[in-house]
Amino acid sequence: MGILTQFYLLQYKNWKLQFRKKVVTTFEILIPAILCLLMVSIRRLVVVTEYPEPQTFKTYDIDGLPNVTVYSLSPVIQTIGLAYTPQTAITSQIMAGVYGYLHDAYNGPSIIREYLTSLL
C-alpha cells in the first residue's frame, strides 16, 4: 500500500469519527471561538493607561540594608539582613509583617528554631 493511500485512509477514518461525534466536534469548534471572543471583549473593557517614562525607584546602598536580629539559645547573636525592593510605604508594611512572622517562628517551637538556625 502506498503512502498516499495510507494517508487517504487515515483522513477518511478521522472524518468518519468526526462525523459520528457531532456534539464533540461542535464543542471542539465552538469553545475556542467563544473563549477568543470573551478575551477580546474583556480586552476592550480594560482601561489602558500608558506611561511614557519608565518607573524608577531610588537606590540604596547594600551596606544600609535593614537588619533582623535573631536571638537563639546559643550565646551568639545572629543578624540576618532582610532586603526588598522597592522601598515604599506598602512594601515596608508587608516586610514588617514578614519580620513579625519570622520573629514569631524563630522564637516558636524548637523544631522551627532548629530549622531556621540550620539555614544560617
Domain ranges of the chain: 3-45, 62-119
The DSSP code sequence of the chain is --HHHHHHHHHHHHHHHHHH-HHHHHHHHHHHHHHHHHHHHHHHHSPP---SS--------GGG--EEEEE-SSS-EEEEE---SS--HHHHHHHHHHHHHHHHHHTS-HHHHHHHHHH-
Higher pLDDT, 116 or 75: 116
pLDDT in tens, 15-38: 898 888 888 888 889 999 999 999
pTM, 2 dp:
0.35
Instruction: Give the pLDDT band (50/70/90) at residue 95.
Output: confident
Task: Round the average pLDDT of the chain to a whole number and report it.
Answer: 76
Query: What would the pLDDT profile of 38-68 be if each residue is shown by its tens digit?
Result: 999 999 998 888 888 887 877 766 665 555 5
